[in-house]
Amino acid sequence: GDSVTQMEGPVTLSEEAFLTINCTYTATGYPSLFWYVQYPGEGLQLLLKATKADDKGSNKGFEATYRKETTSFHLEKGSVQVSDSAVYFCALSDRDDYKLSFGAGTTVTVRA
């Protein structure tokens, strides 16, 4: 079945550092790919998404490119802020049943 493998955390960074969170997937078809962010005590918020190969999703300085050849969707941000401290989830959606499969989540802590 479909699955998502996400870089394990926790990740601790200093402000203005570069952030990369690796995500690879396994899918039989052509899934849509997502990054969600969860702040403490809250539900998930969509950060960005890509629906086909070579698409680049971007939002709030974060970027991720749908790489079919490497089955990857790595999340990057060039200069993180304290407010970026959260748990980040990579996810894919099977277009047949629209179920979301999530990675394990990566906790990111940014220190001032």
Span interacting with another protein, options 17-25, 38-46, 59-67, 69-77, rule CB under 8 A: 38-46
Would you count residue 107 as binding another protein (CB under 8 A)? Answer: yes
Work out which of 17, 44, 55, 59 binds another protein, going by CB under 8 A: 44
Work out which of 35, 89, 108, 110 binds another protein, going by CB under 8 A: 89
Q: Which pair of structure tokens corresponds to residue 80?
A: 């993180």
Would you count residue 46 as binding another protein (CB under 8 A)? Answer: yes
Work out which of 8, 42, 54, 96 binds another protein, going by CB under 8 A: 42
Indicate the residue among 15 and 64 with the shorter CB distance to another protein.
Answer: 64
Q: Are 94 and 34 in contact (CB under 8 A)?
A: no
Work out which of 34, 35, 62, 88 binds another protein, going by CB under 8 A: 34
Other C-beta atoms closer than 10 Å to the C-beta of 35 total 25
